[in-house]
Amino acid sequence: MALQGLVATGKVLQVLQTVKTDTFTSAVDETFTDITGLSVAITPSSALNKILVNVTLASGFRPGANAIMFRLVRDSTAIAIGDADGSRNRTTFGDAIVSNDSITNASITFLDSPSTTSATTYKVQFYQDTPASAIFVNRTVTDSDIAAHQRMISQITVTEIAG
């Protein structure tokens, strides 16, 4: 006897991706800010299902910042963040300044339980702690037109998993 309408737990139901190939630059300080073009919306088919979120972010930082912090956000709620402790920022991942013209590639994979069947948007936000510093996505700081400097991609992929 076949049971119709039932999906095996753990089965991949849908995969959606946004790939950001253009660059993004911002000098917003001390507030979490969306990275334009690095979000993806998914509508889960069941509130029991989970969403596997994978982010790869290529970013460079202007000298002067102590650190750049990133967090994963579901709609307007930060997820996959560290525990609260004093005045420390709760973030998903971050990077210290390596050199004056570097670009790094960070990634995170997180299994989320949104408990909804409504359209849900996942995105990445950044925070920088020093005035006059800046973040550069998919490019180096100076972005000189030489072979030693590169352009990269950033991406966010969501996969609905049957719960």
pLDDT for position 65:
60
Q: What is the dihedral of CA 89, 94, 96, 100, to 10 degrees?
A: -120
Which DSSP helix (H) or strand (E) runs through 160? strand 154-161
Residue 50, amino acid: K
pLDDT for position 102:
64
pLDDT for position 1:
41
Q: How far are the Cα atoms of 12, 30, 35, 80, 157 from residue 127, in angstroms, in the given order?
A: 33, 6, 10, 16, 22
Instruction: Sketch out the chain's domains with CATH numbers.
Output: 12-161 (2.60.120.1340)
Kindly report the pTM of this predicted structure. Answer: 0.87
- DSSP 8-state secondary structure symbol assigned to residue 97: -
- How far apart (Å, rounded) are the C-alpha atoms in residues 110 and 146? 36
How is residue 117 written in tokens? 């069947």
Pairing mode, if any, of strands 67-74 and 93-96? antiparallel
- DSSP 8-state secondary structure symbol assigned to residue 93: E
Q: What is the mean pLDDT of each run of 10 residues along the chain (163 residues)?
A: 66 98 86 94 98 93 70 96 90 67 81 98 88 80 86 96 95
Torsions phi, psi for 61 (to 5 deg): -135, 140
